[in-house]
Amino acid sequence: MRCSKCARMLGLYAGGDLPAKDVGKVEEHLAACEACRKLLEDLRAGIGVLRESACTEEMLPAEDPSYWQEVESKLRGRALAMESLSSRGSWRAWLPRIAAQAAVVLVVAGVVVWLATLERQPAGGTAEAPTVRFESREAPIVYYLRRRSPYRLAEVMAPPIGDNEVQYGDTGVVVSPREIREYTQQILPASAEEVPERF
């Protein structure tokens, strides 16, 4: 081992921080190198000086009444009054409250979804006649585009006549998906793709 490499290791060896696998190599080199032994001695002396110069707890005042007052003052300055500790608590303390709030949110969300589902269903069930009536052939297309739902379209056009035609309301007017697509292409080209090929 070269002295330069040993010197790097001695920086750790002097304080007992060298990994065990390297200790043998360093000690072998030290046994044969006076300069590195001197370096080790100086390093140990430096560590000793550092340790002796350390400030210890005993050097600080045992009693310091203003210390606590100043901490309280700092807490107050950050709007962290000691009393607020009683309302802070750990996350474990908050857990039941969070769980209750989550449960309420879930129930509300469930009710909203349920109401939305009800709204999608035709009044009186799916087998009954539609309640929406149209005055022209264009009306169901506009209605469809507004609601953006093929199920809506099917509802207002019941009953279907075959796979490709539907009759809406009780007007007797029959319209096919192709006609809807073509008409939509004319009035709202970007929305034409949303019309299904078949009902």
Partner 1 sequence: MSNSPSETPVSDAELVVRCQQHDPEAFRLLVERYRRRSWKVAYNLVGNREVARDISQEAFVRVFRAIATCDPDRGFTQWFDRVVVNLSIDYLRRRGRSATVPLEVVVEPPAPTEGPDADLERHETRRLVRTVLEELPLTHRSVLVMRDIEGMDCVEIAKILGKSPGTVRWRLSRARRAFKRAWLRRRPNKA
Indicate which single residue of 3, 35, 50, 188 sits in contact with partner 1 (rule: CB under 8 A).
50
Tell the smallest beta-carbon distance from residue 99 to partner 1 (Å): 17
In angstroms, the CA 102 to CA 49 distance is 60
The answer to whether 132 touches 156, Cβ cutoff 8 Å, is yes
Q: In the structure encoding, which two tokens stand for residue 32, read together?
A: 């044969």
Q: Which is nearer to partner 1, 4 or 117 (CB)?
A: 4
Among residues 3, 35, 47, 115, the one that binds partner 1 under rule CB under 8 A: 47
Min dist CB 33 to partner 1, Å, is 16
Tell me if 78 contacts partner 1 by CB under 8 A.
Answer: yes
Question: Pick from 167, 162, 170, 194: which is nearest to 181 by CA?
Answer: 194
Burial state string for 25-49 with b = 16 or more CB within 10 A and e = fewer than 16: ebeebbeebeebeebbeebeeeeee
CB atoms within 10 A of CB 128: 11
Return the residues of window 5-24 that contact partner 1 according to CB under 8 A: 7-12, 14-15, 17
Closest CB 52 distance from partner 1, rounded Å: 7
Work out how close the CB of 66 gets to partner 1 at its nearest, in angstroms, rounded to a whole number.
10
Angle at the Cα of 113 (from 111 to 117), degrees rounded to 5?
Answer: 115
When asked if residue 146 is in the footprint of partner 1 (CB under 8 A), the reply is: no
Say whether residue 93 binds partner 1 (CB under 8 A). yes
Answer for which of 21, 32, 68, 189 binds partner 1 (CB under 8 A) is: 68
How far apart CA 176 and CA 148 sit, in angstroms, is: 17
How far is it, in rounded angstroms, from Cα 156 to Cα 51?
A: 89
User: Of 2, 4, 31, 53, which lies in the binding site for partner 1, with binding defined by CB under 8 A?
Assistant: 53
- Rounded to whole angstroms, the maximal C-alpha distance in the chain is 113
Q: Do 144 and 152 touch, CB atoms closer than 8 A?
A: yes
Q: How many positions of this chain bind partner 1 (CB under 8 A)?
A: 48
The yes or no reply on residue 52 touching partner 1 (CB under 8 A) is yes
User: By CB under 8 A, is residue 4 in contact with partner 1?
Assistant: no
2 lies in the site for partner 1, by CB under 8 A: no
State how far the Cα of 118 lies from the Cα of 6, in Å rounded to an integer: 82
- Give the binding site for partner 1 (CB under 8 A): 7-12, 14-15, 17, 42-43, 45-47, 49-62, 64, 67-68, 70-71, 74-75, 78, 80, 82-83, 85-93
